[in-house]
Amino acid sequence: MLEMLSPASSEDGTVSPPADPRGDAEVVAADDELSFERDVWARFAAFVRGYFSDFTPVRLASHVAVVLVVALVLFLSQVNMPRWELTRPEPPQPSAAGLEDEALPLISFWPNRGGSRLGSSDSLMRAAVPFTTIPDRPRLGIIIYTVQAGDTLSGIADRYGLTLDTVMWAGGLELCPQLLRVGQELMILPVDGVHHTVEEGDTLDDIAWKYKVQAEDISGWELNGLEDVNSPLTPGQVLIIPGGVKENILTKILAYAGEPSEPSSVGTGRFAWPVSGSIQILDWFNTTTIGGRPGGTPRPWPHKGIDIGAWLGTPVLAADSGTVSVAQVGGYNGGYGNYVVINHGNGFSTLYAHLSSISVQPGAVVAQGQRIGAAGATGMTTGVHLHFEIRYDRVHRNPLCFLSVTSQ
Ligand SMILES: [Zn+2]
């Protein structure tokens, strides 16, 4: 019975359906699945029999037409289906998977960097500080900020709620703010003031005096780790000086040392300090008051050079080799007093003013480091010092952008 219901027996063309489907009612009741197949088969056999018994040409034609329509629909759908199958894999999945493959190592490499792909070329690059709003709670420590493209000193100061001076002092940029560079690391103090690296022999009183604060201001800053003003200091220790100011302090410079080089009408392009020793900048480039002090005596025009403190008679040296173009002895000379100008033959020239004496003649070819005179107080001065200018293409430049300073 089961074999008779199998598809093989139905395809042999003999079409021998069960005599009476209802005769197997008990079996049908016993097995629903089997009865369903049998029922379908019985209906199909009856349909075939009926079809061929009612056979007419019109009926055949109509049925052939239906078959053709179905075939056409199938044909069209078969053409369309491959397109659909082809386009489905194209959408984002493959490329998204590719991105994920690239991003994963970065995420695992810098778990705290948010998976930024920008720094992938340098695994040691310090992360940019990503926030622009600073939490209200006070910062106790020093932050190292890496300068980004478009940053300005005042913008950075604003972002951290600090004064421009604090940011410049911490970075030594008060010497030459134009030296701010992308990628440069700036020290951001937790509070307005300065920092100081303790040196052998430093006392808290000395440091406090230098930055115009009280010793208690320094020992009272928790992070400095000092119990009181008598706590010992360790050389190399970095102290935060809240409220400290760095007023024209420049203690260590690389003055020209050793024998002068060979005289040359063309300079090296590198400048050496024109006076030797431990010196102090009395007035900076471009200040608009005498001494650069806020509220001080206004200058008739912005300061065109720097004023370097020196004892009367201190040798003044050529900052670079070149040809003496001016060696003016006597006269006020617009406030310069006795002064020398050296043309370095490379677009640069330097000027040395207020000299007490001059030891070169106009037209002399001098060497870098060669003595050209002595410091004095001639012309318009408030005391003995060297007024030093650097010009390039006749435009005054900030000398401190050209002179080496080892520390401040
Ligand atoms: Zn000056």
Mapping DSSP to helix (H, G, I), strand (E, B) and coil, where does residue 371 land? strand
User: For residue 351, how far is its CA from the centre of ligand 1 (angstroms)?
Assistant: 11
The confidence score (pLDDT) of residue 54 equals: 57
User: For residue 70, how far is its CA from the centre of ligand 1 (angstroms)?
Assistant: 102
- Beta-bridge partners for 145: 186
User: For residue 334, how far is its CA from the centre of ligand 1 (angstroms)?
Assistant: 12
The confidence score (pLDDT) of residue 114 equals: 28
User: For residue 333, how far is its CA from the centre of ligand 1 (angstroms)?
Assistant: 13
Residue 180: phi, psi to the nearest 5? Answer: -60, 125
User: For residue 90, how far is its CA from the centre of ligand 1 (angstroms)?
Assistant: 73
Residues 281/303, Cβ–Cβ less than 8 Å: no
Instruction: Encode 201-213 in three state secondary structure.
Output: CCCHHHHHHHCCC
User: For residue 265, how far is its CA from the centre of ligand 1 (angstroms)?
Assistant: 26
CATH class (in words) of the domain with range 143-242: alpha beta
User: For residue 407, how far is its CA from the centre of ligand 1 (angstroms)?
Assistant: 23
Nearest by Cα to 372 from 332, 397, 342: 342
User: For residue 286, how far is its CA from the centre of ligand 1 (angstroms)?
Assistant: 10
Nearest by Cα to 188 from 151, 207, 163: 163
User: For residue 373, how far is its CA from the centre of ligand 1 (angstroms)?
Assistant: 17
User: For residue 353, how far is its CA from the centre of ligand 1 (angstroms)?
Assistant: 8
Q: Exposure string (b/e) for 327-345, b if CB count within 10 Å is 16 or more?
A: bbeeeebeebbbbbbbbbb
User: For residue 283, how far is its CA from the centre of ligand 1 (angstroms)?
Assistant: 7
User: For residue 308, how far is its CA from the centre of ligand 1 (angstroms)?
Assistant: 8
The confidence score (pLDDT) of residue 348 equals: 97
User: For residue 301, how far is its CA from the centre of ligand 1 (angstroms)?
Assistant: 11
User: For residue 389, how far is its CA from the centre of ligand 1 (angstroms)?
Assistant: 8
The confidence score (pLDDT) of residue 345 equals: 96
User: For residue 193, how far is its CA from the centre of ligand 1 (angstroms)?
Assistant: 27
User: For residue 354, how far is its CA from the centre of ligand 1 (angstroms)?
Assistant: 9
The confidence score (pLDDT) of residue 55 equals: 55
The token pair at 199 is 């040196």
CA–CA gap between residue 211 and residue 241 (Å, rounded): 8
User: For residue 363, how far is its CA from the centre of ligand 1 (angstroms)?
Assistant: 25
The confidence score (pLDDT) of residue 333 equals: 95
User: For residue 176, how far is its CA from the centre of ligand 1 (angstroms)?
Assistant: 17
User: For residue 388, how far is its CA from the centre of ligand 1 (angstroms)?
Assistant: 7
The confidence score (pLDDT) of residue 303 equals: 92
CA–CA gap between residue 119 and residue 34 (Å, rounded): 70
User: CATH assignment of 252-407?
Assistant: 2.70.70.10
Q: What is the Cα gyration radius of the chain?
A: 46
User: For residue 386, how far is its CA from the centre of ligand 1 (angstroms)?
Assistant: 7
User: For residue 307, how far is its CA from the centre of ligand 1 (angstroms)?
Assistant: 5
The token pair at 22 is 């209802």
User: For residue 303, how far is its CA from the centre of ligand 1 (angstroms)?
Assistant: 6
Mapping DSSP to helix (H, G, I), strand (E, B) and coil, where does residue 300 land? coil
The confidence score (pLDDT) of residue 61 equals: 72
DSSP 223: G
pLDDT tens for the chain, residues 1 to 408: 433 333 333 333 333 334 443 333 333 333 444 445 566 566 656 655 655 555 566 766 776 676 666 566 555 555 444 444 333 433 333 333 333 332 222 222 222 222 222 323 333 444 444 444 555 556 778 899 999 999 999 999 999 999 998 998 898 888 788 888 899 999 999 999 999 999 999 999 999 999 999 999 999 998 899 999 999 999 999 999 999 998 766 655 666 767 778 899 999 889 999 987 666 778 888 888 888 777 888 888 899 999 988 899 999 999 999 999 999 999 999 999 999 999 999 999 999 999 999 999 999 999 999 999 999 999 999 899 999 999 999 899 999 888 876 544
User: For residue 305, how far is its CA from the centre of ligand 1 (angstroms)?
Assistant: 6
Domain boundaries, the chain: 3-55, 143-242, 252-407
